[in-house]
Amino acid sequence: MNVDDIKKIAVLGAGAMGHGIAMVALMAGYNVVLRDIKQEFVDKGVKAMQEEFDKFYVSKGKLTEEEVAKMMNEQLTTAVDMKDAASDIDFSIEAVPEIMKIKKEVFGDLDKYAPEHAILASNTSMMSITEIAKATNRPDKVVGMHWFNPPTRMQLIEVIKGEKTSEETMQVTYDLSKKLGKVPIRVEKDVTGFIVNRISAPANALLGALLDKGDVSPEAVDALLMSVGQPMGAYLLMDYVGLDISCETLKYCAETLSSDYEPSKVISDLISKGQLGMKTGKGIYDWSQGRPKIDESKSAEAAEKFDPMEPVAVQINEAVKLLEQDVVKNPDDIDTAVKLGLNMPMGPFDMLGMFEDLKGLLESLAKKYNKKIFEPTKTIKEGKLKELLESRRR
């Protein structure tokens, strides 16, 4: 099978990610079936697609009303029954909640009805592709295809290889990502968090530990981060995304990687009170009057107790682990993934020159917060990072 054999794509899950992925596939010329477990969910997804086409494409002159109508009427079908959704597809993209039990049920059901040649992809942001594939009789055709939100505007797709994913499946998924107008990055080993979320996790753990320590206010830290060019402070961003989302990510890392990732007590307490950030009107900040304004004059307060390069240091450390473990072959792919996935101007390895003593900083962070995940990785300890990067870029 090659990418030109793909004519029809099933998108399983009509929520924000699912209907966004369906829009991208329609605009690339594919026939799409959008499936969810209830007709009301499907209808809501289709309505959201129409609204987004009107708001972001028709109103801006990128598409005409006639072009959108043609896609929605001629290329898009919908389904609730899995057999109806999967019987004649060539490729499927699962975008259901991040609960392993649900994902395995979906893949088991999908495997019964999809043609033998069909590739089954998961949009999971953290979970094991290998484990999901166990629910099927075609693990060689199960692959990770991690999109970023919103799918219509974010360029990155992480293409993840499970233990039994074939090279053909990887290549077809990679090529399809390109045909969909995206920038695919290969993830050669099935590890928690893949690239972007894996590299973000220790920085989030650090910010949580800093919050629990209580030496400096979240607003002061955000003011300092914004003063050095970060568009949104780290804690403000946590609130914006949802404290429950970052907490679930860290919980999964704690279960699969290290207990050092256990979520912050302060954030866990806020979640238990139903204070999840922007979506509930209150979290680390008060959002009841709209987006909180950060008092940037408070940056001096944080400067004495927090170095804005500390989160960068632990991200570089985690990126090196991915190279050491052959999760990613080329360090440039890591930089590209982080820049596109997090809307950052620079990737972790782009920022290496900003550190005089990366090893010493990581050792001090590990000691200060009593977290082994911050300890410098083997390559950094041995002073061989430059050598590693040069060898991988050849």
Tell me the average pLDDT across 141-167.
Answer: 97
| Cβ atoms 164, 133 nearer than 8 A | yes
Architecture of domain 195-389: Orthogonal Bundle (1.10)
Tell me which fold the domain 3-187 belongs to.
Answer: Rossmann fold (3.40.50)
Where exactly are the structural domains of the chain? 3-187, 195-389
Q: Where are the beta strands (DSSP E) in 119-227?
A: 119-122, 142-147, 156-160, 183-187
> Bridge partners of 108?
none
- Whole-angstrom distance, CA of residue 118 vs CA of residue 10: 10
- The mean per-residue pLDDT over the stretch 380-391 comes to 96
User: What percent of the chain is predicted at pLDDT more than 70?
Assistant: 100
pLDDT of residue 319: 98
Concatenated DSSP letters for 56-112? IIITTTSS-HHHHHHIIIIIEEEESSHHHHHTT-SEEEE---S-HHHHHHHHHHHHH
> Residue 125, SS3?
coil
Tokens in use for 343? 């809307």
- 305/242 Cα distance (integer angstroms): 26
Say yes or no to pLDDT of 30 above 90. Answer: yes
For 226-266, the pLDDT digits (tens) are: 998 887 899 999 999 899 988 988 999 999 999 999 999 99
pLDDT 10s digits, 313-352: 999 999 999 999 999 999 999 999 999 998 888 999 999 9
pTM (global) more than 0.85:
yes
- Tell me how far apart the alpha carbons of residues 11 and 367 are, in angstroms, rounded to a whole number: 46
Catalytic residue numbers, as ranges = 125, 146, 158, 197
